[in-house]
Amino acid sequence: MKALFTTTRWEWFKLCRRTMPWVLLAIALLFSQLSIWAPYFSYRSQESRPVTLGNRFGMGSRFADVNAADINCDKVLAGDASGLPAGTDPSALPALLTACQGAKQARDVVLTELRGAFTAPGSVAIALSVAQGFGIILVAIMTASLVGSDYGWGTLRTVLVRGVGRWNYLATKLLLMLAGGLALMLLVALGGLVTGLIAGGLAGTSRSFLSLGFLGNAALDTGRAWFSLWPYIALATLGSLAARSSAAGMAAAIGYYFGEIILTAIFQGLFDWFHNVSDYLIVHNTTAWMQNLRLQETSESIRIGVGGAVFGEYPSLLHAFLVLAVYALALSALAFWLFKRRDVTAGGGG
């Protein structure tokens, strides 16, 4: 155990001095922040514009020549006649008031959804969901690079003959990537909280939400996003070891991710029975696992989900957890078995 700890600490030291992890971290943080600031600026834009009836308002001859964009519903609802275009038939006012009330309610719904997306706790859920989607690709790249680097540099035999041991060597790589994935999600969650407070303050919509319940939900959502990365870390590891190449590991994990999305969409459209098959695939269960984060349920934010229209119904949370856990354990065990039985050559890989 001491040897494993020492090796992990040394690998972490080396990893922190590489450029790639910091670039990938910056990418994940950037996109998670964009997912918060985009709703904020959309909110300010919607809020500053007067409510109109949108498209041309055609309700009989009384509105045939009236452009709905010229009808200011804010003024109409306040009883200000200046909100109406010149020559509007007074008998049309009841219908016009009803239409304006509907337009204002629709705008208020949009503003509520946008406000929930950029204010905490919804901002934390949004950031975690976006970072988890990008994180799958980023951890696949980093894992394949970390595991396959010694093949590419031709240093694997040198490392092993120093007494590290194959089990310790591979366990160190996996533990390092799991720790890196957890650090990524913690930073994203913290960034989502800070940004949500700032954006909410700028919009004048700050509210008190800090409580033990919030902290518990934030921890559970962060852990959920972190756990969803495990099968892809194991898949990238197995691909790198099988082909003795970091490029192959990246291709295996990322190729599988997009391949399942595309093929599932095609086969579910062609065969009804494939819906049952997709319930046991990694990406489908990853999406099910990330549906309806606990912080979303306590916020006004819109629902976050990737591929709902493509994949249809999702399995339960427990089902998704068990499927992902089985994949993570099985792929990791296969990687250990393959690495243990295979001869180590002096040559490098890609």
Q: Which residues of 167-194 are buried (b: 16+ CB within 10 A; e: fewer)?
A: ebbbbbbbbbbbebbbebbbbbbebbbe
Averaged pLDDT, 266-284: 89
What's the pLDDT score for residue 65? 47
* 277-325 per-position pLDDT tens digit: 989 999 999 999 998 788 876 655 444 443 333 345 788 999 999 999 9
* 1-40 per-position pLDDT tens digit: 666 677 777 777 777 778 888 998 999 999 999 999 999 9
Distance CA 121, CA 210 (A): 9
**Res 201 pLDDT > 70:** yes
Distance CA 163, CA 214 (A): 47
Task: Delimit the domains of the chain by residue range.
Answer: 2-36+120-341, 49-113
**Res 188 pLDDT > 60:** yes
CB of 197 closer than 8 Å to CB of 206:
yes
What's the pLDDT score for residue 58? 42
What's the pLDDT score for residue 19? 87
CB of 154 closer than 8 Å to CB of 347:
yes
Looking at per-residue pLDDT, the higher value among 227 and 272 belongs to 227
- Report the share of the chain in percent with pLDDT over 70: 78
Q: Which residues of 97-116 are buried (b: 16+ CB within 10 A; e: fewer)?
A: eebbeebeeebeeebebbbb
Distance CA 262, CA 283 (A): 11
